[in-house]
Structure 1
Amino acid sequence: MHADQRKKLINELTDLIKGGNAHVTLEDALEGVPANLRAVIPDKLPYSIWQLLEHIRIAQKDIIDFSISRDYQTLIWPDEYWPQPTDQVSDEQWEKSVKEIRDDQQRFFQLLQNDEKDLFSPLPWGSGQNIVREAMLIADHNSYHTAEIIVARRLLGIWK
């Protein structure tokens, strides 16, 4: 792959993970969620906005940890990927989760930009996965659950 093609691919994958284009970004989906509704589970949905946010954080970190290191430790599905319901979420907890999502994305973007990494070669510790596939998995997973946050907000009457 030529350097200019690689750069274009990295830019496309980065934009895909950040969201937008055809989808609402995670930041937009979270903007203005009242603290008293973060932990409310809307009728007929299994999760609160907080649980969805935390699931995005946990799963994304898991994917990135796997992509970066052979020392990756597999989480137990579903217990370690989904937080338990809670009655309230502090501003500190909320902001920490959002910050960790952003920080982990930056770790992944650094991996993408590492010219020594072949984006298409299978990760030696995986079962055929490569960095491009993991980038698309992050984007796909995050956008899926971002849409669920919007549905939850609509059911709670707090979406535009």
Structure 2
Amino acid sequence: MKTQYNEHEILIDELVHLLNGGNAHADLTRALDGLPSNLRGVKPDKLPYSIWQLVEHIRIAQWDMLEFCKDGSHESPNWPDDYWPKETSPTSDEAWNKSVRQINKDTDELMGLAKTGNLFEKIPHGDGQTILREILQAADHNAYHLAEIIMVRRLLDAWNN
């Protein structure tokens, strides 16, 4: 028997799919798969960021969007300084792994917010934002920077996909 979805369920499914990488771009796992650890902190000539800085920026920005959705007392970091790490390389493999784990955890939590079904309600402590807007913004932001990671990998001759 064919399952029938209503428009709201279809939208939720599409948002979850988008947060997981959508149809047209790589997700975080694919963008980082096989990256040699010695290239995490390399900044190719004339580019402003290393892959580490891009990963950390994704983590910080997505965390900020998620916390804004959840907590009226959340204070965002100062833009732009606190959204971009100064260090070009992670201090350790554990720092790298912790950042990647946090991105994945926060992505899962954003998917959970999508599944609550409260997509169109205004966030009480915001100025008109909705959960839908924040999820779309997070997915768009992540896709943009994941593409940059792939571009850096291509410039470093470290992309084979």
Residue 86 of structure 1: CA displacement?
A: 3.5
Match in the other structure for 1:110: 112
Partner residue, 2:9: 7
- Structure 1 segments, 4+ long, off by >4 Å, are none
Deviation at 1:95, TM superposition (A): 1.2
For 2:84, the aligned partner's letter is W
Structure 1 residue 85: deviation in Å? 2.4
1: CA distance, partners of 2:104 / 2:90: 23
2:87 is aligned, of 77, 85, 88, to 85
Q: Structure 1 residues 114, 146: closer, same or farther in 2, change over 3 A?
A: same
1:43: Cα distance to partner?
0.7
Name the residue aligned to 1:154: 154
**What is the CA–CA distance in structure 2 between the aligned matches of 1:87 and 1:60, rounded to whole Å?**
20
Which amino acid counterpart does residue 60 of structure 1 have in structure 2?
Q
- Is the Cα contact below 8 Å between 1:68 and 1:111 reproduced in 2? no
Structure 1 stretches of 5 or more lacking a match?
Answer: none
Cα distance in 2 between the residues matched to 1:51 and 1:81: 10
Shift of 1:158: 0.5
**Higher alpha-carbon deviation: 54-63 or 91-100:** 91-100
Question: How many residue pairs get matched?
Answer: 156
* Correspondence for 1:98: 100
- Whole-angstrom CA distance in 2 between matches of 1:87 and 1:72: 28
| Distance (whole Å) between structure 2 residues aligned to residue 13 and residue 81 of structure 1 | 24
How far is the alpha carbon of 1:33 from its aligned partner?
A: 0.9
RMSD: 1.5
Worse overlay, 56-65 or 103-112: 103-112
